[in-house]
Amino acid sequence: MASIDELTFDHLIGQEIGTAVLLKELARGGMAVIFTGYQKTLKRPIAVKILPKSLLAHSSAELFHQEAESAAIISHPNIIPIYEFGETEDFLFFTMQLVRGLPLSRIIERMKRHILPSRRLFRTAEAIRIFISVLDAMDYAHRQGIIHRDIKPANILIETLTNRPLITDFGIAKVLRGPYVNAPKITGTPIYMAPEQITGDPVDGRADIYSLGVTLFELLVTNLPLPSYDTAMDLLKMKIVLKDEMFQNKPSAMNPLIVPEMDAIVSRAIAYDPENRYASCREFMKSLQNYQERFVEKHDEHHAERTCLI
């Protein structure tokens, strides 16, 4: 079976898909390709995500349907809205808001390469601002019965004009009220994946809290303190063996603008046992807000100007 990278899609440019005309290819994921499009009915630019049927296994089709259906029932200013869902002879598709910006993963990579060492770390206030918005959005999704299951910097877009974070790609979201609640399936991205996703144990919103904790950790230090490994499978095995010793340093030891109170926040979010994590994104968010009120102004005041991320 061919991979998404081996397929060509030039023939789709100019074609009508649902109410949109495809304009150009924008990005590719593991099983899908995203185009910029123009929605004729409302005369606006949009993004169109398509999944070729030639790549489909039953589970892939199921996940793609879940992405559109679960994302379409939620409405939050920090979650990218879905406009339309459909199917052609050759592929499944849905359309969504076109975000002018960059994924957080690319911003982190840019920061790592910055010529000035002082600019290779996020300003703490900016990292917390991003995360409070993301946690509010995920708390909303969880209260709607939706688990993302693949939270990572690549799935958090930062809008250029506003610096607003937007969560995308509910492609492996788990709808708790659906018929597949206990499906034992490993899905996610290894570094950010909660241990219970690896072992096939039941998953709830605390799996997203783990992924959010790892993402926050990365925002604060840009280089996660992981043991060396060769393959993704090695990383998955190490998570199960090392448990709470997986991350080999604390945020405050890697970022001089962070005080040890942040170590406790991150450690609780990424606890191996879900019972030891925050019970909800709202609880996680309140811990960050408390940290912000107590420490951020004192330790971040020499970077008081607003940071433009893009």
pLDDT at res. 55: 80
Q: Show the domain range for 184.
A: 101-303
Residue at 310 is within a domain: no
297 plus 167 within the same structural domain: yes
- Say if residue 91's pLDDT is above 70: yes
| pLDDT (mean) for 244-272 | 96
Residue/partner pairs of 240-249 with CB below 8 Å, 24 or more apart: 240/195, 240/198, 240/199, 243/195, 243/272, 244/271, 244/272, 246/270, 246/272, 247/217, 249/225
Active site amino acids: 150
112 plus 37 within the same structural domain: no
pLDDT tens-digit profile of 177-210? Answer: 344 344 444 555 789 999 999 998 999 999 999 9
92 plus 120 within the same structural domain: no
Q: Which helix (H) or strand (E) holds 110?
A: helix 104-112
pLDDT at res. 112: 87
CATH number at residue 183: 1.10.510.10
CATH number at residue 83: 3.30.200.20
Q: Between these two residues, 100 and 120, which has the higher pLDDT value? A: 100
pLDDT at res. 29: 76
Residue at 308 is within a domain: no
Among 51-55, 237-241, 299-303, where is mean pLDDT lowest?
A: 299-303
194 plus 52 within the same structural domain: no
The answer to whether 32 touches 51, Cβ cutoff 8 Å, is yes
226 plus 144 within the same structural domain: yes
Sign of the torsion angle spanned by Cα atoms 93, 140, 75, 104: negative
225 plus 125 within the same structural domain: yes
pLDDT tens-digit profile of 134-186? Answer: 999 999 999 998 899 889 999 999 999 999 999 998 766 654 434 434 444 45
Q: Which residue, 32, 67, 97, sits at the end of a domain?
A: 97
Q: Which residue, 97, 113, 129, sits at the end of a domain?
A: 97
Q: How many domains does the chain have?
A: 2
pLDDT tens-digit profile of 290-307? Answer: 999 999 865 554 444 444
